[in-house]
Structure 1
Amino acid sequence: MFDRFFAVCRPPGRSGPDSYCVRNSADPWTSRARPTFLYLIYLVILLCVVGAVIGIWWPDHVATAASNLTNLLMAIPESLWWLFGARYLG
């Protein structure tokens, strides 16, 4: 069953399944899943940076902004960072 699927998805000259199958899938959700996840992670990173900048208004020093940014980024689970890196690199 899977051999037939991979044989159909595999481009000429390639030996294994890859994202070629996902790009040419008839299912529209498959082609939208990767960009949506990347945009969501971009939004989380942007919100962390904005949160750190907003943290400047109340503290006295800019070092607090760096601490705020570190704390906000460390709140994101490590598994999501690994998933983001894997999906970003393909």
Structure 2
Amino acid sequence: MALDPLTAILDIGGKIIDKVFPDPVQRDAARLAMLQAQQRGELEEVNVRLSAIMAEAKSTDPWTSRARPSFLYVVYILILTAIPMGILSAFSAETAAAIAAGFKAWLASIPPDIVELFQWVMLGYIGGRSFEKVKGAAK
């Protein structure tokens, strides 16, 4: 039986609630709050976003299906540059500080809407992969 994203979200949310709230009364209150949110339709918005992202991830178009993983590699490279920057700061703290200041100014020039879009893309990517793993489709 295939799970829809909303069922997967509720299932994962229930498991998180079980771990976070050891007290049965608090656990039941948290589950009730989650079910009330579902009834108000708040979780439906997340379901719509996840379904769109999952459809995009299943695309046979190589540009579409590789976009998020490729962007992750760029982020990994940026994180890994901390190693040579640390070594550079040991030899020339001024140069390392100047590079860091320039990079900070460059990052500050990115519009907040783009940063928010990236956050949603990453949330969808992580959610989609988690859903695939719960469904048993991920390798």
Shorter-normalised TM range? 0.5 to 0.7
Check if 1:41 corresponds to 2:75: yes
Amino acid of the structure 2 residue aligned with 1:57:
F
Aligned to 1:59: 93
Amino acid of the structure 2 residue aligned with 1:59:
A
Amino acid of the structure 2 residue aligned with 1:52:
M
Residue-by-residue CA offset, 1:31-74 (whole Å, 9 max, x unaligned): 11110011112212322x135311221239xxx86x46752541
TM-score for both structures, normalised by structure 2: 0.39
Question: 1:13 and 1:45, CA in 2 relative to 1: closer, same or farther beyond 3 A?
Answer: closer
The higher-RCO structure (CA 8 Å, 6+ apart) is 2
Structure 1 unmatched runs, 5+: 1-10
Aligned to 2:25: none
Please identify, of 51-60 and 32-41, the stretch whose mean Cα deviation from structure 2 is larger: 51-60
Residue-by-residue CA offset, 1:1-41 (whole Å, 9 max, x unaligned): xxxxxxxxxx8756734212112212122111110011112
Number of corresponding residues: 75
Does the 8 Å contact 1:41/1:84 carry over to 2?
A: no
TM-score for both structures, normalised by structure 1: 0.54
Question: 1:73 and 1:55, CA in 2 relative to 1: closer, same or farther beyond 3 A?
Answer: same
More helix per residue: 2
* Aligned counterpart in structure 2 of residue 50 of structure 1, from 70, 73, 83: 83
The runs of 4+ residues in structure 1 deviating greater than 6 Å are none
Paired residue secondary structure (2:91): coil
Aligned to 2:43: none
Amino acid of the structure 2 residue aligned with 1:89:
L
Structure 2 unmatched runs, 5+: 6-46, 125-139
* Identical positions, percent: 29
* Aligned counterpart in structure 1 of residue 57 of structure 2, from 4, 15, 23: 23
Root-mean-square deviation (CA, aligned residues, Å) is 3.4
Aligned to 2:110: 78
Aligned to 1:8: none
